Structure 1
Amino acid sequence: MLYIFSASLEVDIPKGSVIDMGFNPNNTQQFLLMTKHDIWIGISAKIFVMERGLLKETNDYELKIRMIDRKICLEHGILTCFTFVKDTGQVLVATSRGSVLVYGYTIEYNTNVDMKNYENLRFIKGLKVEPRRINVINCIDGVIVTGNSAGEIHFYDSQMKLLYWVHGFTVDSVKGISFNISPRSYIILDPKCKKICPCWEQVVVEEDPETGVPRQKLLKKALPTDATTAEKPFLVRDFIVCTHNQGVGFVDFVTEKLVTILDNKTSHALSLSVHPEKTFLCVGYNDGTIELVNYVQHKLFIRINLRDHYKVVIPPKEDSIKGDMEVTRPQLSVTCLKYSPSGMHLACGLDTGQLIFLHPTTINVLTEQPFRDTLYAIIQIDYSPDSRTLALADKNRTVFVYKFDCDAHKWWFVGKHRAHYKDITSIFFLPIKNANGDYKLFSLGIDRIMVEYNIGESCDEYLEVLSLDRFDQSAVPLCGMYWPNNPELDLETHRNDLPMILIANDEHKYKIVNYATTMTLSTVLGPRYENPVCRMQLITKSQEEGEAQYLLFATKNIIGLQKMPLDGNPWKHTAILGHPVLILEMCYREDSGTLFTIGAKDNCMYQWAPNFRSVETTTKMGGSDLDPYYCLIENGRPGWLFNEIRDLFYYIQILCQGTFSPSMRRVSDFIPIDSLPDLMRALGYFPSEYEVENLLVEAKYKVYQRSPSTEIDFDEFVKLYLNHRPAFCDNFRKIRNAFRHFAVMENNKLTINREDFIEILNSNGERFPLELSWYLLSILNGHSFEDRAAMTEGDFSFLPQKITLEELASNLMGIQDVDILSEQYSVRDSQGSQQTVSSESEEI
């Protein structure tokens, strides 16, 4: 059995924070902490206790640490890095002004020093060795190596005497140096004729006993020599150097040749797209650069700079003395890239609104003059399935359509239309054609409007709209895609020709919508992470039993896989953190099973491999029937909520059979579907009339059924309830935002007049008749049937003249467990919330 021992210690640091720490490789029980001004040396040791007069060793460890005092000298600057020296036991600390501070156990220079007593370590002296900031200091092969901010790499002996410096290359700034783990194994040959021996290949090389690899054959005259008068050959291991803006390179020390292994881009990546057939990935950057990368070989294939491509050179004037040319480079950023499904086209959208087309495998600019049909940044591009039609959306909420002329091999502009009054969140083609032969094109926006465009009837640069409908009441669509029918259904009882799209919204829900009627066919609970799903793609994996489908999704900073079909099962998806800030774009190559992502304020491209087995494993762990859904219910199956659901389910059966009926009760596993709205309200979920309609349609037809069902069993009801109710307990937040929207500030408190409150109920949203408003409000206010009989219908005097949020929440709605009764809203908070445009305050 493996025992893991631990120990902890609090260190009182007077100022600053720890910027570096490390263990002594020569004494692993010793460690060092470093701040900008001081260092702490510490050890870990076993605890000994006295037991019956004997000192006994225990299995517990303790940490001891102390700060090493030194005289502060401003000439040295702040501390930057440190290293342990093996032979002398010294600690060398580099500073920001090119100095090296020496800490040792003895004042004089000695080797083979006893390092057991860490309390003997003291500050010895400070040496000014370089004129620039030292970023790296390391001890390797008996020499000390440093790298500074000027890109210089120096080698010193253990007494800090300069031995060698790198001549063969320079970098902007050395940020890190990592040497080969294995020491260099070599044999030096010195032919006296000063020429390569003809029997060079016949020289027998022995294997190194430590590494087991043949020794490297080196000519003495080809080796670098140190700076001593003896000019001895100087050899260390090959190493990797990390720079500031020039990436990471591998250094062959013998030849001093630097080979770039990781190129660096100082600009942030904004867009990417993967070729559907070749192993090419195209990445666009903020500085107008576009790179074509071979993602299998992890090599940069080609790079172009659009700012250089579209630069304007103005020749000098005739009377100019200097004769200098003026060069103007436009400030371009590549905001969108998209390969066509056939791989024959590559579209590039810029932040200036220009659209250009690049060669798909060489990224040469094919467009002589960019399309300039908008002045706003292009944010989305999509192709039709046949790659002959292109649609894009810009930041000005406008949709543009282009077509490819196969005879002239050119793209031409069809038209544009701004049908949304808020930002567009998704634009996509369907693999279905209209009557005129063009593929269906849809766009979704924050305004909850779904627009279908009629490309075939568009002319004169005007894009015709076929339909424009608001398909949701409160949820904001974040992305949409075509949703195929299930081919395995029985065609006698089910339909497989439904026109459907899948929409993910900001309420952590998936919705299957009939785009022909805008009716919501199914509402499914999505992944309940901190942020909702905003990107998704249906992918297929071939298996022995057949093909399995998964939904690849991404939230603000998480990527994941979800097993089909969608049913709200929280165990059917797995996810991982995809980026610490924000995922800007993702694209998936299905034949190789590779996902690519880029993030905000990042110049790196991330490559992922899906783990389908983890999704299958978690799905099996969740169980069957209702087992995976119990985690969505408070306290699970034995909790009060599940018992309440079960009791109310059977109570509904009693109500449907007649409350005062003397006949024998019949208990079954089914209830009428028409009783679902009342049962939902009894469980604390109060759907609007629009949501009730969607609820009943889904319960009756289950998306695909031809004939409606009239009853629903207990398991189906529990799933329906969990999928339709809010994903999180944020109902009161929506009530508060709606109240703030209509309330006015009086005496530093938000209130609504009684008459205005009644007018709001009668005129906004799903309107209440005046009689129904009086009836319901009197019940909520606690009046009995006899009280209402004595009251005048339409008289709302039982309500206070000024209705506050706490009056609305506690007296009318009966919310007692929310900490809002003493909440006071300042004018600043109220004005800030009223100015915020959100899906929660726009509609009630």
Structure 2
Amino acid sequence: MPIHRPSERGHCSPITCLCASEDRRWLVTADMGQESLVIIWDAYTGIPVRTLFDCHPEGGVSAMALSKDSKYLVTVGAGAVQRVCIWNWTDESESPECQVDLSPKYGCQNQLLFNPFDNTQLVSNSSTQVLFYNWERGHLEYSAPEITDKSVSRHPVVRKAVKLVPLQKEAITVLTLIDSFIVTGDVNGHIKFYDGNLKLINVYNEFSLDPIRSISFSKEKPSISDLRYPKDCTLDAKPFIIRNFVLSTTHATAVHVNAQINVPQTLLKEHVEPLETVACHPKQPLVAMGSHSGTIKVWDYEHKKAVCSRVFQPHKQIQCITYDPQGFYLAVGFASGALQIVDACTLQSDGKEGLHYSQDSITHLTFSQDSSYLAAADTGKAVTLLRRCKEGTQEVWKYQGRHHSHYKPIQDLLFGVDLDSSQPRLLSLGMDRWLVEYDLQNSGEDGLLILSSERIEQSAVPTCMVWYPPLTPEHFLLTASNMYKMKLFNATSKMC
């Protein structure tokens, strides 16, 4: 098999669909966007063996499938006029074996399948129309039968529905076959098994899952002599002998189901909503990622594997996260204004649900160099300060105060160290062009005091700040603005 122009970087646009060969040896991924790619991967080694460049330049790929013998790949474009292409991906050709453009009146075809017994026949469907394809000698044609079980039709069609059977009220999202069963997954997260007469045999509805996206069954057939299988839901209550299976949901969860004991095991829990924040561990090759779905996942970027994860249900949307300089704590800020400080290794807290001193979304979090203070900025243009204290044998974070120190959004929040006393310093920078320093030594007992306020720009809007490296005896603060300029300020006098 030729190794043909592999893509070393993989996809640069969002991956929209994938499929696997019957023996799971080959995996195919496709994306949408500019310079869209279709990549065939060796699933054993993770190496791309063939890349199709710009095969659907009108908008990428919306659906695809491999034939049973894995020789042919069919793709459907995502453009306004969808194009169906059949590729012999094992040869050197840059063009498809055949192709056909679909009429937009049939809706967006987003599911596709080869006939497992005949590579020249395919079927696809949209939310409103099923299309049947036939190809031979480089020519591909399709037909669109009416979805009706009426025996009389004014327009003779090649295929028509034999019988329409309403299986359930809930929308079906997955339809597949395994052994002698017809299997469906639906928007309620239920999996149902029917026999050839469409009689319900069994149902999995106790797993509390999100809408089902896919179902994949084990290649190993179950042992009929094994008596540990549960009973089906028919009146005869026969043993329900089915293969183990893995399912995925629309909320980026993959679950393995042991059919003998009816126990689901979560394999993956990924971010289902956009990633809002990342933070690098100060001493280990770890990066933590937080999303609006309330999920934090810690990734080891040397060994390319997930270390731990947690889903925060009560507060949900995560806005920002940060490690303390020692790498012991991870602070989490939520859109609800809540704060939570968790163990950096386990992502577990000391049992408290969180700290809630603001009703405004947390936008910035920062620890002092000695990890004794934690400061938070929010969309209410205020800064909140917490201090780590000991109560008996336990360490707790106590509220020190909150100050509405800016009249426009806070752009950055930064701890530093006083060169004379080695005590922590806290500064905030606002869109209002004010650089504010807080009096940490005299703050406390529910009061955060201001030490100084300096207007550092006249027309430009500052966007961020950072401490300049200690290359000289003087201490400098470096800021950037929307005028594409950087400025150095003396850390003591605040002079530019």
**TM norm. shorter chain > 0.5:** yes
Match of 2:248 among 242, 247, 257: 242
The one-letter code of the counterpart of 2:162 is K
Q: Is contact 2:187–2:210 with CA below 8 Å preserved after alignment?
A: yes
Match of 1:31 among 114, 117, 122: 122
Residues 1:126 and 2:112 are matched in the alignment: no
Q: What does 1:151-166 align with in structure 2 at a 5 Å threshold?
A: 151-157=190-196, 160=197, 162=199, 164-166=201-203
Partner of 1:138: 176
Partner deviation per Cα, 1:156-198 (whole Å, 9 max, x = no partner): 23xx454842469555566234324x73256x5xxxxxxxxxx
Match of 1:514 among 483, 489, 493: 489
- For residues 123 and 439 of structure 1, do their structure 2 counterparts lie closer, same or farther at Cα, with a shift above 3 Å needed? same
Structure 2 distance, partners of 1:440, 1:283, is: 27
Q: What does 1:39-118 align with in structure 2 at a 5 Å threshold?
A: 39-46=130-137, 61-71=138-148
Match of 1:128, SS state, is: coil
Q: Is contact 2:331–2:342 with CA below 8 Å preserved after alignment?
A: yes
Structure 1 distance, partners of 2:427, 2:311, is: 34
Structure 2 distance, partners of 1:403, 1:229, is: 64
Give the drift of 1:433. Answer: 1.6
Structure 1 distance, partners of 2:211, 2:408, is: 48
The one-letter code of the counterpart of 2:254 is V
Partner of 1:806: none
Q: What does 1:424-823 align with in structure 2 at a 5 Å threshold?
A: 424-430=410-416, 432-456=417-441, 461-471=447-457, 473-474=459-460, 476-484=461-469, 496-497=472-473, 499-506=475-482, 509=484, 511=486, 513-516=488-491
For this pair of structures, how many residues does the alignment match? Answer: 389
Percent of aligned pairs sharing the same letter: 21
The one-letter code of the counterpart of 1:382 is T
- For residues 388 and 121 of structure 1, do their structure 2 counterparts lie closer, same or farther at Cα, with a shift above 3 Å needed? same
Structure 1 distance, partners of 2:409, 2:106, is: 48
Structure 2 distance, partners of 1:405, 1:131, is: 58
Structure 1 distance, partners of 2:435, 2:455, is: 5
Give the drift of 1:424. Answer: 0.6
Match of 1:397, SS state, is: coil
The one-letter code of the counterpart of 2:185 is G
Structure 2 distance, partners of 1:166, 1:459, is: 59
CA RMSD, 1 decimal: 4.7
Structure 2 distance, partners of 1:454, 1:477, is: 22
Q: Is contact 1:358–1:365 with CA below 8 Å preserved after alignment?
A: no
Give the drift of 1:128. Answer: 1.6
- For residues 394 and 44 of structure 1, do their structure 2 counterparts lie closer, same or farther at Cα, with a shift above 3 Å needed? same
Give the drift of 1:123. Answer: 1.1
Match of 1:252 among 255, 258, 263: 258
Partner deviation per Cα, 1:560-588 (whole Å, 9 max, x = no partner): xxxxxxxxxxxxxxxxxxxxxxxxxxxxx
Larger-Rg structure: 1
Match of 2:227, SS state, is: helix
Structure 1 distance, partners of 2:439, 2:210, is: 57
Q: Is contact 1:397–1:420 with CA below 8 Å preserved after alignment?
A: yes
Structure 2 distance, partners of 1:232, 1:355, is: 52
- For residues 472 and 442 of structure 1, do their structure 2 counterparts lie closer, same or farther at Cα, with a shift above 3 Å needed? farther
Partner deviation per Cα, 1:398-420 (whole Å, 9 max, x = no partner): 23434334687554555554443
Q: What does 1:332-411 align with in structure 2 at a 5 Å threshold?
A: 335-347=319-331, 349=333, 353=337, 357=341, 361=346, 362-365=348-351, 370=355, 372=357, 376-405=360-389, 409-411=395-397
Give the drift of 1:386. Answer: 1.0
Partner of 1:81: none
Partner of 2:94: 4
Partner of 2:268: 262
Q: Runs of 5+ in structure 2 lacking a partner?
A: 3-91
Partner of 2:225: 219
Q: Is contact 1:284–1:334 with CA below 8 Å preserved after alignment?
A: yes
Q: Is contact 1:177–1:242 with CA below 8 Å preserved after alignment?
A: yes
The one-letter code of the counterpart of 1:32 is V
Structure 2 distance, partners of 1:442, 1:292, is: 28
Give the TM-score taking structure 2 as reference length: 0.61
The one-letter code of the counterpart of 2:194 is F
The one-letter code of the counterpart of 2:118 is N
Structure 2 distance, partners of 1:440, 1:175, is: 51
Partner deviation per Cα, 1:120-163 (whole Å, 9 max, x = no partner): 84114114262334332213346432334551411323xx4548
Q: What does 1:817-836 align with in structure 2 at a 5 Å threshold?
A: none
- For residues 173 and 128 of structure 1, do their structure 2 counterparts lie closer, same or farther at Cα, with a shift above 3 Å needed? farther
Structure 2 distance, partners of 1:299, 1:155, is: 40
- For residues 29 and 428 of structure 1, do their structure 2 counterparts lie closer, same or farther at Cα, with a shift above 3 Å needed? farther
Partner deviation per Cα, 1:730-758 (whole Å, 9 max, x = no partner): xxxxxxxxxxxxxxxxxxxxxxxxxxxxx
Structure 1 distance, partners of 2:237, 2:397, is: 68
The one-letter code of the counterpart of 1:364 is D
Structure 1 distance, partners of 2:235, 2:405, is: 81
Give the TM-score taking structure 1 as reference length: 0.39
Q: Is contact 2:174–2:215 with CA below 8 Å preserved after alignment?
A: no
Structure 2 distance, partners of 1:253, 1:427, is: 52
- For residues 472 and 261 of structure 1, do their structure 2 counterparts lie closer, same or farther at Cα, with a shift above 3 Å needed? farther
The one-letter code of the counterpart of 1:183 is K
Structure 2 distance, partners of 1:222, 1:411, is: 51
Structure having the higher strand fraction is 2
Structure 1 distance, partners of 2:396, 2:232, is: 64
The one-letter code of the counterpart of 1:438 is Q
Partner of 2:407: 421
Match of 1:342, SS state, is: coil
Structure 2 distance, partners of 1:339, 1:440, is: 18
Structure 2 distance, partners of 1:411, 1:173, is: 36
Match of 1:219, SS state, is: coil
Q: What does 1:197-216 align with in structure 2 at a 5 Å threshold?
A: none
Structure 1 distance, partners of 2:314, 2:208, is: 26
Q: Is contact 1:292–1:363 with CA below 8 Å preserved after alignment?
A: no
Structure having the higher helix fraction is 1
Q: Is contact 1:401–1:463 with CA below 8 Å preserved after alignment?
A: no
Structure 2 distance, partners of 1:257, 1:413, is: 44
Match of 2:219 among 183, 205, 221: 183
Q: Is contact 1:427–1:442 with CA below 8 Å preserved after alignment?
A: yes
Q: Is contact 1:443–1:450 with CA below 8 Å preserved after alignment?
A: yes
Partner of 2:51: none
Give the drift of 1:397. Answer: 1.9
Match of 1:14, SS state, is: helix
